[in-house]
Amino acid sequence: MKILHTSDLHLKQFEDERWDTLIKLLEIGKKEKVEIFVISGDLFDKEYIAEDLRPNLRKIFSNNVFNILLLPGNHDSESYKSGLYYGENVTVLNELTVPFDYKNISVWGIPYEPIGEKQVLEKLHSIKSELKPDKTNILIYHGELLDAFFSRKDFGEEGEERYMPVKLSYFRDLNLNYVLAGHFHSIFEVWQIDENKFFVYPSSPISIKKSELGIRKVNIFEVGEPPQEYPLDTPHFEQISIEFNPLEDSDPLEIVKKSLVNIHPQAQVCLEVKGYINSQSLGINERGLVEQINEVVSDQCYEVDYQFKDISVILEDELFKKFMKKLHLSDFNDDVKDYMKDLVIKSMMGVKK
């Protein structure tokens, strides 16, 4: 039996990029012949959005060949009140003590609440006796794994607050084969709780913030096997950093163009442009070069961070030329030479101010 596990779509409006990503995930579910499709929280970015989108969700959630399981997350915890209809074969896991039973598995959901470690642990142990040994038991969870070394930006726009924190040790004496988690956006990550027991974050299936870099993933796995990452063809951010070196015979504009070759068609590039230029030898000043770069990158870059500087006044200085000649003849390795060159440039920039 195959399960598709995703989370944190943060839907905002009908037929935008996030909505299109959900459509694509449902198509993947059909293609991969999954029997259960799990969204581990934060399907919606805000609770009121569920009211706007629910009629359209009914259409795409119905007539699928798999069961869809939804868990309330911290962004949409009030979106799943009793009696609301999200479509055929859609189950909202609103109560921890009421699992979704299907064939030889039981899927339990712990809906998000603003509670701490102790309360989460108590809730988990409240179902310990209900986790039957003859079943594959799966927990759907939305919150923060304290064992992991994450920064706050990995969880989206959440600030410093803790969100239903847990530790891997909380699950070791529970008969849970999988913890299919949500809330962590940045990367696909799996932890082994014990033999044949796994905790997994699938990452957001579409980049929500610029910190969510690289091709996005979902978790598609056969029950009884470890979680498996499944790369997606969805919008995502890529970070590219280039550095101009005025002491090399290279065209800055060509450097920019080469850096954008073979970029994924769904990538939104955050380009960082560092280093130095010699406007005298290039025949163009900082403003002119920025204008040329903007023309080249306009279709591929989400943003460009210009950090490069024109240091022609230093590069044409006779003292600097003598220094570079001696440095070139020295026995230092390239890293040391680069460090010394940068140190001298920065020192002379301070003097030339």
Query: What's the CATH number for 2-231?
Result: 3.60.21.10
**What is the crossing angle of helices 47-61 and 17-31, to 10°?**
40
pLDDT of residue 352: 58
**Which pLDDT does position 114 carry in this prediction?**
93
Cα 144 from chain centre: 15
d(CA 3, CA 86): 20
The reported pLDDT for the residue numbered 317 is 87
Strand bridging mode 189-194 / 197-201: antiparallel
pLDDT digits (tens, 9 = 90+) for 95-117: 999 999 999 999 999 999 999 99
Q: Is 41 exposed, middle or buried (0-12, 13-18, 19+ CB in 10 A)?
A: buried
C-beta of residue 163 within 8 angstroms of C-beta of residue 140: no
Quick one: pLDDT at residue 81? 82
Q: What are the boundaries of each domain within the chain? A: 2-231, 236-352
pTM score above 0.75: yes
Q: Using alpha carbons only, what angle is made at residue 350 by residues 346 and 351, rounded to the nearest 5 degrees?
A: 120
* Alpha-carbon span 45 to 181, nearest angstrom: 17
Q: Which residues of the chain have pLDDT under 70?
A: 149-161, 351-353
